[in-house]
Amino acid sequence: MSNTETNQVHCVLLNMLQWFHQECKNNNLRYYIIGGTMLGAVRHKGFIPWDDDIDVAMPRKDYDKLCSIMADSGRGQYRLEFPGKENKDYTYLFAKIYDTQTTLTENKRQPITRGLYIDVFPLDGIGNEYKQAHENFRKIQRRMQIYDTAVCAFRKHRAWYKNMALIFGRIICPLFVSERKLNDGIRRLCTQYDFDNSEYAGNLVGNWGSKEIMPRSYFGTPAEYDFESIKVYGPEEPDKYLSALYGDYMKLPPEEKRVSHHDYIERDLNKSYLK
The per-residue pLDDT for range 238-263, each reduced to its tens digit, is 999 999 999 999 999 999 888 887 87
How much is the mean pLDDT over the chain? 89
- Residue 74 is predicted with a pLDDT of 56
pTM of the model: 0.90
pLDDT at residue 215 greater than cutoff 90: yes
- Residue 90 is predicted with a pLDDT of 87
- Residue 241 is predicted with a pLDDT of 98
Direct distance between the N- and C-terminal alpha carbons of the chain, in angstroms, rounded to an integer: 25
Task: Return the closest-CA partner of residue 58 out of 201, 186, 249.
Answer: 201
- Residue 179 is predicted with a pLDDT of 74
Q: How confident is the model at residue 160 (pLDDT cuts 50, 70, 90)?
A: very low
**Model confidence pLDDT, tens digit, residues 82-130:** 987 667 788 899 999 999 999 999 887 678 899 999 999 999 999 999 9
225, 234 Cβ separation under 8 angstroms: yes
Cα–Cα distance list, 3 to 10, 115, 263 (Å): 10, 20, 18
- Residue 154 is predicted with a pLDDT of 45
**Model confidence pLDDT, tens digit, residues 52-68:** 999 999 999 999 999 99
pLDDT at residue 237 greater than cutoff 80: yes
β pairing state of 54-59 and 117-127: parallel
Q: Residue range 137-159: average pLDDT?
A: 75
Backbone torsion region of residue 15, taken as left when φ is above 0, otherwise alpha when ψ lies between -120 and 50, otherwise beta: alpha
Q: How confident is the model at residue 230 (pLDDT cuts 50, 70, 90)?
A: very high
- Phi, psi of 156, rounded to the nearest 5 degrees: -60, -40
Cα–Cα distance list, 240 to 53, 139, 210, 216 (Å): 23, 25, 15, 11
- Residue 54 is predicted with a pLDDT of 97
